Chains A and B, each alone.
Chain A
Amino acid sequence: MNRFLIPLGAFVLLAIVLAVGLKHSPEKGVIKSPLLGKAAPTFSLPVLTDTSRTFNSADLKGRWYLFNVWGTWCVECRHEHEALLEIAKRGEVSIVGLDWRDEDAAALQWLQELGNPYEVIAADREGRIAIDWGVYAAPETFLVDPQGTVVYKYIGPLTMDAWVNEFVPRLPPKQAAKS
């Protein structure tokens, strides 16, 4: 065996690893939230649509929900909005929004223009709660189960493909059957 073939062999191995890495869709899996399998951070924040009210995340116990972090300044959030509306229409889970480092007026106008897929939206004006959730960049979406445990985290704009392939299989059959 020619020892000068070793570098080529090593490179072939590396190329295989890179190809596999590329196949496993890039965003998911690489940065996984340390929150996975742990209790979702609780918080109370003003409700965006009615700032006199306070929203307590503890109220969500007992049912599945999506926790979607967005902001009007986030272009990718605009891209995923269609998917969120569609998910809301399917009604498998309710969607809780976290309006991150945003201005209330801009956010309200955004909802007026694009539609509101959220059951409730918490206004995280200073971004404190996003830090608790380990948000890295908007948009990010978390799936939380009835015990309040974070089951899954999705980074980047949500698509219907991702919803069907990544989220729905994680839901209990009864919940998913609603669609």
Chain B
Amino acid sequence: MLPELGHFALILAMLLAGLQGFFGIAGPALGRDRWTAAVTPAVAGQFVMLATSVACLIASFVDNDFSVLYIAENSNSALPLFYRVTAMWGAHEGSLLLWIFLLGCWTVAVAIGVSRLPSRFAARVLGVLGVVSFGFLLFMLATSNPFLRLDPPAPDGRDLNPILQDPALAIHPPILYTGYVGFAVAFAFACAAMLEGRMDQMWARWTRPWTTAAWAFLSVGIALGSWWAYYELGWGGYWFWDPVENASFMPWLVGTALIHSLAVTDKRGLFKSWTLLLSILAFSLSLLGTFLVRSGVLVSVHSFAADPTKGIFILVFLCVMIGGALTLYAWRAPLLKSQAGFDLGARESFLLFNNILLVIAAATVLGGTLAPLISDSLGLGTLSVGTPYFNPTFMLSMLPLTALLSLGVHANWKRGRLSDSKRTLLITLIVAAITAIILIYGVYSNGKVLSPVAATLGVWIILSSLVDPIDRIRRKLSLPRGVIGMTVAHIGLGMFLLSVTTVESFTLERDVALGQGDQTTVGNYEFRFQGVKPIEGPNYNGVEGTVVVTRHGVPTSVVHPQKRQYWVQRQVTTEASIEMHRGSNVFVALGDDLGAGKWSVRFQIRPLVNFLWLGAFIMALGGAIAATDKRYTLAKQAEAAPVTAPAPGVAG
């Protein structure tokens, strides 16, 4: 019964989303206030239906209802309860439902948030979100219904993909999707502003907290995915430029550009058409990512479900949404004129460079991701693009970006005068360079050509970000959350950069065959292999090795890397052991049984690698702080009132 209820709720949700889209766009356009007023109830109704549907699917998972095809394919009676719940988004159909549900959550939050805004504008924002939701619900009901029954029911399920049975990956999709979907809000605001023909600074200010929040979620989501890949895939890498990773990274890059250009539009009324375009692009790349991942046009280690018929649907949807928005843009953007100018050295210039470089970075990632497709469709044969392409091209835009950051943060709006902070900046730069050189040649010795440069930039970003807040505190000036958030996020970026530099330059790696009692040395560490013993988990069995780790003869720890074989899918997973020691990650993964009691074991020493994810989390924290700046809520109350006043019929 529950699956049918869930299915029915989905159909109702689709109808309500359609109404929400229709009333939200047609109501304000035709000046029908009763239509406009019907949007909010439709939002509420749609959300209730989506929540019902999600609850039904999760309940069926918990119940082990293997008469539902999706559950039979992705769960098993031996699967622990926690993973039976998270298995809901373990494959295509369920993750799509999660995607739509999270869009519903954002829509409700937006509906509450925009209730203070002019009602026509609010209705248009919700209307655009309704169209997005309708498209996805139609897609889901037509091609990817998670509630389809299996007749006769399976005696037991095929189990959740074992590599997904992991806490970080269980929460990775909801957070990542929250970020992805959040860009729909910026998109909806931009479309609403264009539909309204009122593309002044206000829409930018209204959009800012939403966009920053979405960006923060996306940052955490990507970092979790990377962390998972690091310890679960057993290779010890943290980023593979895999199409699925790129699909989430491109919206992040454009989203980063967007939060910066929104700042310019909000504060100075510049870059208006550019900001509109970025709002469209960020969400378009989210949609494109969905297409690439779900259609199977690109084969990737991450794509668990790929189906060309789904691809056609998403492509049509993509054309309607993105094509529609860009047409609207081509029609409306020429009306915009920027009146204010700025000097070359002003903060606006730096933010312009920031935007250009981030968009170039996103374009190079897009190019590399699509290269196999493009060369194939032009008949040039197949081509695969990997790290040798991505690393250098990406660095080409990232190095100038990080180099300009410290200057940009201290530049004034409008006037190109750095003199106030020139001295402080120079001092921080010198301190950063000395720290970097000590770190690279003193602590780790040797290094590649770029290591001291990149490390200097990393330290410089951290130090120079602190200058302004410290100055404000000393002069007893107010410290708004926007400034704190920016500082925190930039410090996170500095840590990230520093970590990437040390990891790329100083990682030590060795694969060795070891028998019981054998010892090997990697860097400053010695590893003694004590053999393996069998283990058994709830739905797997495997072996667990014991390795005694010492540093220059001083014991540091005893680690237990595992290799598991899951019963149902017969898949082998590597549970590497990762220990933090003196800032480095000591990584031990069990490889293959070589027979005669010997095992291949992989050892890695990665200095400061934890700073990488920590840096990303700190960036996201900065976003979260900035998104809650009082300025946005106060501004809303102050500005919304006079806007509604001259149009008495609208209030409805």
Which residues of A are in contact with B by a Cβ distance under 8 Å?
2, 4-5, 7-8, 11-12, 14-15, 17-22, 24-27, 29-32, 71, 73, 75, 101-102, 126, 155
A22/B327 contact (C-beta < 8 A), A101-B570, A126-B592 known: no
Which residue of chain B is the closest to A12 with respect to CB atoms?
Answer: B323
B382 within 8 A of A: yes
The 8 A-B pairs with the shortest beta carbon distances in the complex, nearest first, are A20-B377, A73-B570, A26-B296, A21-B373, A8-B326, A4-B333, A21-B297, A4-B330
Query: In the complex the two chains form, what is the Cα distance from A133 to B638 in whole Å?
Result: 68
Cβ-defined contact, B570 with A15, below 8 A: no
B418 within 8 A of A: no
Cβ-defined contact, B372 with A30, below 8 A: yes
Which residue of chain B is the closest to A32 with respect to CB atoms?
Answer: B382
Query: In the complex the two chains form, what is the Cα distance from A4 to B328 in whole Å?
Result: 10
Query: In the complex the two chains form, what is the Cα distance from A126 to B145 in whole Å?
Result: 38
Cβ-defined contact, B326 with A11, below 8 A: yes
Say which one of B171-179, B307-315, B388-396 lies at the interface with A: B307-315
Cβ-defined contact, A17 with B370, below 8 A: yes
Which residue of chain B is the closest to A131 with respect to CB atoms?
Answer: B592
CB distance from A176 to the nearest CB of B (A): 25
B374 within 8 A of A: yes
Cβ-defined contact, B296 with A2, below 8 A: no
Cβ-defined contact, B291 with A18, below 8 A: yes
Cβ-defined contact, B315 with A19, below 8 A: yes
CB distance from A161 to the nearest CB of B (A): 13
22 contacts between A and B (CB under 8 A): A5-B330, A7-B280, A11-B322, A14-B370, A15-B323, A17-B370, A18-B291, A19-B315, A20-B373, A22-B308, A22-B312, A25-B308, A26-B295, A26-B306, A27-B299, A29-B376, A29-B382, A30-B298, A73-B569, A102-B570, A126-B592, A155-B299
B residues near A14, Cβ cutoff 8 Å: 370
CB distance from B356 to the nearest CB of A (A): 15
CB distance from B501 to the nearest CB of A (A): 32
Which residue of chain A is the closest to B372 with respect to CB atoms?
Answer: A30
Cβ-defined contact, A26 with B319, below 8 A: no
Cβ-defined contact, A8 with B373, below 8 A: no
B520 within 8 A of A: no
Known A30-B376, A73-B571; further 11 A-B contacts with Cβ < 8 A: A4-B273, A7-B330, A8-B330, A15-B318, A21-B297, A22-B297, A26-B295, A26-B299, A29-B376, A101-B572, A126-B593
Cβ-defined contact, B384 with A2, below 8 A: no
Which residue of chain A is the closest to B326 with respect to CB atoms?
Answer: A8
* A-contact bits for B276-311, CB 8 A (1 contact / 0 none): 010011001000000100011111000000101001
B residues near A18, Cβ cutoff 8 Å: 291, 297, 315, 318, 373
Cβ-defined contact, A7 with B569, below 8 A: no
B334 within 8 A of A: yes
CB distance from B472 to the nearest CB of A (A): 39
Query: In the complex the two chains form, what is the Cα distance from A25 to B297 in whole Å?
Result: 8
B residues near A32, Cβ cutoff 8 Å: 382
Cβ-defined contact, A7 with B297, below 8 A: no
B329 within 8 A of A: yes
Query: In the complex the two chains form, what is the Cα distance from A110 to B390 in whole Å?
Result: 44
Q: Of A17, A71, A102, which contacts B373 at CB under 8 A?
A: A17
Query: In the complex the two chains form, what is the Cα distance from A155 to B376 in whole Å?
Result: 17
A7/B299 contact (C-beta < 8 A), A17-B370, A18-B373 known: no
CB distance from A111 to the nearest CB of B (A): 17
A30/B382 contact (C-beta < 8 A), A8-B329, A17-B370 known: yes
B residues near A102, Cβ cutoff 8 Å: 570
Query: In the complex the two chains form, what is the Cα distance from A30 to B296 in whole Å?
Result: 10
Which residue of chain B is the closest to A6 with respect to CB atoms?
Answer: B330
Query: In the complex the two chains form, what is the Cα distance from A5 to B326 in whole Å?
Result: 8
A31/B277 contact (C-beta < 8 A), A11-B322, A17-B374, A21-B377 known: no
Within 8 A of A (CB), among B222-270: none
Cβ-defined contact, B323 with A8, below 8 A: yes
A residues near B370, Cβ cutoff 8 Å: 14, 17
Q: Of A11, A12, A24, which contacts B376 at CB under 8 A?
A: A24
* A-contact bits for B377-407, CB 8 A (1 contact / 0 none): 1000010100000000000000000000000
Which residue of chain A is the closest to B318 with respect to CB atoms?
Answer: A15
Which residue of chain B is the closest to A155 with respect to CB atoms?
Answer: B299
Cβ-defined contact, B299 with A30, below 8 A: yes
Within 8 A of A (CB), among B319-357: 319, 322-323, 326-327, 329-330, 333-334
A residues near B373, Cβ cutoff 8 Å: 17-18, 20-21, 30
Query: In the complex the two chains form, what is the Cα distance from A93 to B224 in whole Å?
Result: 48
CB distance from B511 to the nearest CB of A (A): 14
Query: In the complex the two chains form, what is the Cα distance from A7 to B569 in whole Å?
Result: 46
Q: Of B277, B311, B315, which contacts A7 at CB under 8 A?
A: B277
A residues near B376, Cβ cutoff 8 Å: 20-21, 24, 29-30
B residues near A2, Cβ cutoff 8 Å: 330, 334
A residues near B299, Cβ cutoff 8 Å: 26-27, 30-31, 155
Query: In the complex the two chains form, what is the Cα distance from A25 to B374 in whole Å?
Result: 14
B602 within 8 A of A: no
Which residue of chain B is the closest to A10 with respect to CB atoms?
Answer: B326
| Most chain A beta-carbon neighbours within 10 Å: one of B315, B373, B571 | B373
CB distance from B362 to the nearest CB of A (A): 13
| Most chain B beta-carbon neighbours within 10 Å: one of A2, A19, A26 | A26
CB distance from A153 to the nearest CB of B (A): 11
B residues near A126, Cβ cutoff 8 Å: 592-593
Q: Of B281, B311, B382, B592, which contacts A22 at CB under 8 A?
A: B311
Query: In the complex the two chains form, what is the Cα distance from A7 to B280 in whole Å?
Result: 10
Within 8 A of A (CB), among B146-164: 158
A residues near B593, Cβ cutoff 8 Å: 126
CB distance from A128 to the nearest CB of B (A): 8
Which residue of chain A is the closest to B382 with respect to CB atoms?
Answer: A32
Cβ-defined contact, A4 with B592, below 8 A: no
A residues near B273, Cβ cutoff 8 Å: 4
| Most chain B beta-carbon neighbours within 10 Å: one of A14, A21, A126 | A21
Query: In the complex the two chains form, what is the Cα distance from A31 to B298 in whole Å?
Result: 9
Query: In the complex the two chains form, what is the Cα distance from A129 to B134 in whole Å?
Result: 49
Which residue of chain B is the closest to A20 with respect to CB atoms?
Answer: B377
Cβ-defined contact, B377 with A31, below 8 A: no
CB distance from B267 to the nearest CB of A (A): 24
Query: In the complex the two chains form, what is the Cα distance from A102 to B334 in whole Å?
Result: 64
Cβ-defined contact, B330 with A24, below 8 A: no
CB distance from A34 to the nearest CB of B (A): 10
Cβ-defined contact, A22 with B295, below 8 A: yes
Which residue of chain A is the closest to B569 with respect to CB atoms?
Answer: A73
A residues near B280, Cβ cutoff 8 Å: 7
B residues near A22, Cβ cutoff 8 Å: 295, 297, 308, 311-312, 315
CB distance from A9 to the nearest CB of B (A): 9
A residues near B374, Cβ cutoff 8 Å: 17
CB distance from A124 to the nearest CB of B (A): 13
CB distance from B592 to the nearest CB of A (A): 7
Query: In the complex the two chains form, what is the Cα distance from A71 to B98 in whole Å?
Result: 32
CB distance from A129 to the nearest CB of B (A): 13
